[in-house]
Chains A and B, each alone.
Chain A
C-alpha cells in the first residue's frame, strides 16, 4: 500500500536539480548533441526505437541523452511520449523482400542469389580495444565496388519454392491485426500478438530465452537461414487521400530461422521457421526473437511444451522491460505502512515463540 507522505517536496526538487547537473557532468567538457548520439551511438538509438516501439531517431537520441545513457529509462521516456500523440492509422505491411540491403548473410547456403553481403558488422573483428579510437580518429573512405542489380530474394522463399520449408501462415480476408497497445493480452495469444510482444521485448530477456532453447530447454535445432538489414519503404493508406501515400523509408533487421523438420502421416516433412523483425540494425535482437518465436510455436507444432521459452504466458508477461522495471523499481518507493504492519506481526510472532519456548521454571515463576 502507498501512503501520501508530506515533507519530501523540497528534497525531490533538489534531487532533480542535482540529477540535471550530474547528467551534464563536468561543464568544461563539451555537451553531447543529439546528432552525435544519433550518428555515433546509432545502435543504442536503434535499440531504444525498437523497444520503445517508436521509429523516430531524434526522439530516441533525446531520450538517451535525458536518461544519461540508461537505455531502459530512455525506452520508458519514448513509450510515455508515444502516448501523447494521436494515431493516424496503420501502414501497409513492409515488403522486406524489396529491402535495399546493407547486409545480408545466410549460414545455410553459401551461394544465394544476390550473394553474401557483410555490410557494417562487428563479425570477424578481433574484439581488441582500439586505442586509436580514443581521439581524433578519421576513418578511411569505404571501399566501393560495382553494385549488382540482381534481386536479393529471401532465402526462405527459395527453400519454399522447393517445398522444403513450411510456408508462412496467411491472414484470412479482412482479419483484424491484434494490437496489444490497444487491447489487454489474453492467452493463448495468436502469432501476430506474440510477434508484436517480442518485437518490443527486452533484448537481454529475449537473448537469454533464445539461448536457453539452444542449451536444451525447448531445443529446436536452429539455423540462421538469413539475416538482412537495410532500408524498406513505408506506405500508409490515408483515408483523406484515398490511396497509399509514401511516408519515406525506415531501417529494419529481419531474421529467418530455419528449424528442425516436422511431418505427419498426411504431410511430407519440411523445415519449420521462426521469425524476427526489428527497427534499425538489431541483429542480436532479431535472432533471439526468431528463436523464441519458434519455441512459442511448440503447441501448434505438437511438441511438448516444458521449457520456459515455450511458455507463452511466461515469455509474453515478462518480456517488456518497461513493465518489468516498473514493478521491480517500485520497491524503492515508500512502503512504510506495509512494512510497519509486517514489523508488528513479526514482533507478535516472536513474542509468542519466546513464551512457548521459555524454560518451565520461568513459566512457573511468572505464574
Chain B
C-alpha cells in the first residue's frame, strides 16, 4: 500500500476506472488532520517530536464486508478515499488480484523508474578521490 501513498490521486482514479467496482460505502468520510513526526536523538536514540505533517484519512466498506483504510500525507481527501477503496478491494478474493495487477504493480513500476532516475542523477555527484602524483626531485 506504500506505493499508493506515493502516487497521485488522479493516477489511482484513472486505473480504478478500468475495474468494474463492487458496491461500497464510506465508513469514514475523508478528513484532514495532523500526525506528529518523530526523529531519534543521534538518528538511533530516544525519540523526539520533530514537527507535524498534514495527513488525510478515510475508510471504505465494500458491500461484501471488507473494510479498507486509507492514510496519506497531505490534504487530498479523495486520495485517502481511493487508497481506502484499494485497501478494501485487495482483501476481496474477487478483486485482490486485479487491484495488484492493474493498479499497484504499474504504479510501483512508475515509482521505481522515478527513483532510479533520481538515484542515477545523485550517483553522478559522488566524489571519486584520486591521489596526485607527487613530483620528485
- Residues on A lying within 8 angstroms of B by beta carbon are 49-50, 53-56, 58-59, 82, 85-94, 96-97, 100-103, 110-111, 115-120, 142-148, 154, 156-157, 167-171, 175, 177-181, 191-193, 195-196, 199-200, 233-234, 236, 238, 240-241, 245-250, 252, 254, 256, 273, 275, 277-279
Contacts and interface: CB of A to CB of B under 8 A. Distances in A.
A223 B62 CA distance: 57
11 contacts: A50-B51, A91-B38, A101-B122, A144-B123, A168-B43, A168-B44, A171-B47, A192-B49, A240-B28, A245-B1, A279-B50
Interface centre among B33, B41, B69 (most CB of A within 10 A): B41
Nearest to A115: B126
Of A111, A147, A252, which is in contact with the most chain B CB atoms at under 10 Å from its CB?
A147
Contacts, number: 228
B122 A117 contact: yes
Interface of B: 1-2, 5-6, 28, 32-55, 57, 59, 69, 71-75, 115-127, 129
A102 B123 contact: no
B54 A54 contact: yes
A100 B6 CA distance: 14
Given A85-B34, A241-B69, A247-B53, A56 B74 contact: yes
A111 B86 CA distance: 45
Sorted from nearest, which 8 A-B pairs have the closest CB atoms? A168-B45, A168-B42, A171-B46, A246-B2, A55-B53, A147-B119, A144-B120, A192-B48
The A interface is mostly helix, strand or loop, or mixed, namely mixed
Given A55-B73, A91-B37, A115-B127, 18 more contacts: A53-B51, A54-B34, A86-B33, A94-B40, A102-B122, A143-B124, A147-B116, A147-B123, A169-B46, A180-B49, A236-B35, A238-B71, A240-B69, A247-B73, A248-B72, A273-B42, A277-B39, A277-B50
Contact of B46 (A58, A97, A192): A192
A251 to B, nearest CB: 11
Nearest to B32: A85
B53 A56 contact: yes
B34 A82 contact: yes
B118 A102 contact: yes
B127 A195 contact: no
Contacts of A142: 121, 124
A114 B6 CA distance: 25
A120 B124 CA distance: 11
Contact of B48 (A167, A195, A241): A195
B39 A94 contact: yes
A154 B44 contact: yes
A275 B42 contact: yes
B34 A86 contact: yes
Given A143-B121, A247-B71, A196 B34 contact: no
